[in-house]
Structure 1
Amino acid sequence: MTDLSEPIATRLDAVRQRLRAAEAQYGRQPGSVALLAVSKRQPVDAIRVALSLGQQAFGENYLQEAVEKRAQLADETIEWHFVGALQSNKTRAAAEGFDWVHAVDRLKIARRLSEQRPQHLAPLQCCIQVNVSGEASKAGVKPNAVSELAHAVAALPGLRLRGLMTLPEAVESFAEQRSAFRQLRVLQEQLIDEGLTLDTLSMGMSNDLEAAVAEGATLVRLGTAVFGPRPEKSS
C-alpha cells in the first residue's frame, strides 16, 4: 500500500483543489459538488489509501469485481455506487450490494431493483441516465421520455429517485460541454416543477469537470484522475 499512498494522495489533492476552484469560479457553494472516485479495475489497496485520505464514495462498473471488493473491504465504511450499464439478469447483485445505482434507463430495471432491494436496507438511491447527446452507442433514456420514467421510478417503494445522470459525447469545446450538461439541468428543473423531489445531478468527468460544475453538477465521477492508469484486464 505504501507505494500507492503518495501518488494517490497527490492526485486526490489536485482533484479536490480543482473542484473547489470550479465551485468558486462558477458561484457554487464551497463543498456543494461531491467527488465519486471510480475505482473499477483498481486494487483494493488503492481504495484503502483513498479511504485513509477521507474519500468514502466509490463507483464500480463491473458487478462481480465489485462484489469481491466489498467482501475484502467489509471492515470499512464505504458508500458504494454502481455506475455501469445494468442488465436485467444482474439487478439482484446491485440491489443487494450497492447504496446507489446511477444508470437506470428502463422501468423494467427499476422495478427489478425495487423488488430485489432487501427490506432491512434503506431504499436504493438511484439516478436516471439520460442520453442528452443522442448517441446510438450510449445507454440512457431520451430526453422526451424522462418525465414518464422519472414519475414511475419515484413511485417504486424500494427506490429513492435522487436525480439524473448523463455521459455526454466527448467534445473539446467548453461551450458545447456546458450545453450538454445544461440540458440535464433543465430536465431536472422541469421534473422538480412537476412535483418530484430531486437533489442530484451526476455529471462530469476529468475532461469536462469544470463545465459540469458550471451547469449545476452535484456529483462528478473521476477515476484515473484519482487513482492513475487502470491496470490491464487480466486474461
Structure 2
Amino acid sequence: MQDIVHNLDVIHQRMKNACLQSGRPEDAVRLLLATKTVSEENLRFAVGQGEVLLGENRVQDGSRMAEKIKDLPVEWHFIGHLQTNKIKEVLRWATCIQSVDRTDLVEKLDQRLQFEQRKTDVFVQVNTSYEPSKFGVEPEKALDLIREVMRYDTLNLKGLMTIGLFSAEAERVRKCFQVLAGIRNQALELGFEHLELSMGMSGDLEIAIEEGATIIRVGTAIFGPRVYPDSFYWNEGSVKPTGNSS
C-alpha cells in the first residue's frame, strides 16, 4: 500500500509542477484513476487517500467493481470503446461516458436515456493522432459530432477526450493535444461556457497540462503493471488500439 501512496504523491507533484510552470492554478487538473484490473482492496485504499474520480475501460469490469464499492463516494467515468449493446449496462454505474465517437452511439444513448427519463454527461472522443488502431472521431468531423450531441436533451456535453500519440517525440505528442484544444475552442463558439479536456497519461501528462488538460488518466503508474497488455482492457470485442492507455 505504501507504493500506492508514493506513486500518488509522485503523480500529484508532477501535476502541480506542470500547472505552476504553465501558469495555471494547482487545482486546474483532476486525476482520474484508470481502474483496469485494480483490486477492490487497492481501489478502496486509493479512495481513502482522497481519490474520487475513477475510470473503467470495460463495461462488465466496471459493473462488478462499482457494485463492490458502492458504499464509497466516488464518480465513475467510462473511458473505453462502447458498443451499443452495452449501453444499458454502463448507464447503471457510469455518470459520464468519455468515449462518444460516432452518430449511432449518440442515437442509441438518447433512446435509452429517454426510456429511463434521465440525462447523462458525455465527452466526445477524438482520434487526434489519426491512427487507424485507435477509436475516436476524426478531428475534421469532430464539430459535426458535437453538433449532433447538442441535438439531444438527454446528453450533456462536458468535454472532449483523446489519447495522445505514444511516442518519444514530445512535439508529435503535443500536436495531438493542441488539435483537441483547438477543437474545444471552436466548440465553445457554439455556445458552451466551458468544456473539459481529458487528455494526458503518465508518460505525457506534463505536455497535456501545458496544452490545457483538465483531466489526466493514470493507472499503471499508480497501481503497478497489469497481467495483460493495455490493449486487452481497452475494449470489448472490437479493434484493439495500440499505444499507452494510462
Question: TM-score w.r.t. structure 2 length?
Answer: 0.88
Distance 1:221 1:20 in 2: 15
Q: What pairs up with 1:115-130 in 2 under 5 angstroms?
A: 115-117=111-113, 119=116, 123-130=119-126
Q: Which residue of 2 aligns with 1:26?
A: 22
Partner of 2:37: 41
Q: 2: CA distance between counterparts of 1:82 and 1:192?
A: 24
Unaligned residue ranges in structure 1 (runs of 5+): none
**Distance in 1, Cα, partners of 2:6 & 2:110:** 39
| C-alpha separation in 2, matches of 1:147 and 1:48 | 38
2:185 to 176, 183, 189: 189
Answering whether residue 153 of structure 2 is matched by residue 173 of structure 1, we say: no
Once residues 38 and 228 of structure 2 are traced to their aligned partners in structure 1, the CA distance between those partners, rounded to angstroms, is 10
Alignment-derived partner of residue 64 in structure 1: 60
User: What is the CA–CA distance in structure 1 between the aligned matches of 2:148 and 2:168, rounded to whole Å?
Assistant: 36
Per-residue deviation at 1:119? 4.4
Report how far residue 230 of structure 1 moved: 2.0
Q: CA deviation at 1:204?
A: 0.3
Q: CA RMSD in A?
A: 1.6
Partner in structure 1 of residue 207 of structure 2: 211
Task: Give CA deviations for 1:65-95 in whole Å, capped at 9, x if unaligned.
Answer: 1111111111111100110001111111122
Counterpart residue number, 1:146: 142
Secondary structure at the counterpart of residue 189 of structure 1: helix
Name the SS of the counterpart of 2:171 in structure 1: helix
How many residues of Structure 1 are paired with residues of Structure 2 in the alignment? 228
Normalising by structure 1, we get a TM-score of: 0.92
Residue equivalent to 1:83: 79
Please give the alpha-carbon distance, in whole angstroms, between the structure 2 residues aligned to 1:72 and 1:95. 16
Percent of matched pairs sharing the same residue: 35
